[in-house]
Amino acid sequence: MHPSALLDLCAELLRAVLKFDAPADGVVSAFFRQHRDLGHRERHALAETVYAVLRRRLLFEHLAKAGSGAPERRLALLGWQGGDGLLRGVLTPQEVDWLDTSRGVDLADLPQPLRHNLPDWLARALKAALGETDFWALAASVAAPAPLDLRVNTLRCKRAEATATLASAGIDATPTPFSPWGLRVQGKPALAKLEVFARGDIEVQDEGSQLLALLTGARRGEMVADFCAGAGGKTLALGAMMRNTGRLYAFDVSGHRLDALKQRLERSGLSNVYPTQIVHERDERIERLAGKIDRVLVDAPCSGLGTLRRNPDLKWRQSPQSIEALRVQQTAILASAARLLKPGGRLVYATCSLLASENETIVEAFNAGQRDFTPFPAAEVLARARIDQAGTLTQGDFLRLWPHRHATDGFFAAIWQRR
């Protein structure tokens, strides 16, 4: 495709994404389905440009005011990820001068919002939680793309074997520092085309997400529930922890997400997983299991703000009002999930949110209303699992992972044991 036409398509895609009426990844996927003639490199350039603009939207919109032409075209030029040589061949002399001037702006002279590129309400909350220095480190971290983390399916192979297999395919994978199952890969290799992926030896899963599964301490022969299973990344990790024994329920309200899990189950070799669609957290299928489950993982629906490196549109699509609505849902889900536990069972509440209002506040309310559950220190669980530097992963009794500190997505987890 001619570079000028590709740039026009990029502006069109940005116009759709910046409406913020749907998740960016879904808008991009739908756009590519409408333009099936685009090659791999062209799709990569368009998608990465969109995400670059989303990460630095406030800055780019400020710089774009000085340019000319359609605003989406100016944003596409500022965020372009398809190579400078291709870009400059289609720009007017005025556009070249404006782009060079924009790239030469000293960010230190700009107002804070143009440097951190976060909405004011979110910046205030994070500064209050982290302090000034740590806040800016976090802002820099979430402005960069995330690496690709993999979980080795220990039912199929060992981590060293998977590392060697990937190396033979030209992919450099290094062990993650905390998860005993994790590998980290730079870039975005085409994993789906590899035999090591097709036969279920590896799955894509952030290291932080792997640690959430590990916190359950799931064992052979137990009854375990993944209460909000989604597409099942943690479900698969739990099944491997259980060595494909016992009974593992994967609950979710979305049949579409559970269908995606079933496809992954076929690769994994697991036969102890029971995907179960529920209507809501008080579904009768859940009530029938009350008091019978050994371990329950509640990866609650949340703002997703811990995943800003992967989903930068979330900071523009969430609001204090949407957070408040989520808190009501999180409280109800946690209370319902707790009823599943048998005496002595373990409950884990987790989110991929950076906000105390979705994390510590929910836990405090649960503790105030429950007499049958005793908080259990996350550091003790991690130490028993022989996780290196376990103390650096916790804050008080909780698991607290930050992108700028741990190179993972942002995660929170609290643990209880039923008396």
CA dist 401 and 353 (Å) reads 10
Instruction: Tell me phi and psi for residue 167, to 5 degrees.
Output: -60, -40
| Lookup result for tokens 């599943």 | 340
For the record, the structure tokens of 184 come out as 């980290």
* Catalytic residue status for 10: no
Tally the residues of the chain.
Answer: 419
Measured CA to CA, the distance from residue 323 to residue 363 in angstroms comes to 16
Give φ, ψ of 127 to 5 degrees: -65, -40
How far apart CA 46 and CA 259 sit, in angstroms, is 29
List 398's β-bridge partners, or say none: 395
Select which of 157, 228, 302, 352 is catalytic.
352
Q: How would you label 223-236 residue by residue, b for 16+ Cβ within 10 Å and e otherwise?
A: bbbbbbbbbbbbbb
Sign of CA dihedral 123, 25, 188, 270: positive
Integer Cα distance of 341 and 145 in angstroms: 39
Instruction: Please tell me the chain's helix, strand, coil percentages from 3-state DSSP, rounded to the nearest 5.
Output: 50, 15, 35
Is 351 within 8 Å of 358 (Cβ atoms)? yes
Fill in the DSSP letter of residue 255: H
**Tokens 């060079």 -> residue:** 100
Single-letter code of the amino acid located at 86? L
Question: Which pair of structure tokens corresponds to residue 328?
Answer: 């009501």
Nearest residue to 418 via CA among 332, 327, 300, 296: 296
- Catalytic positions are 352
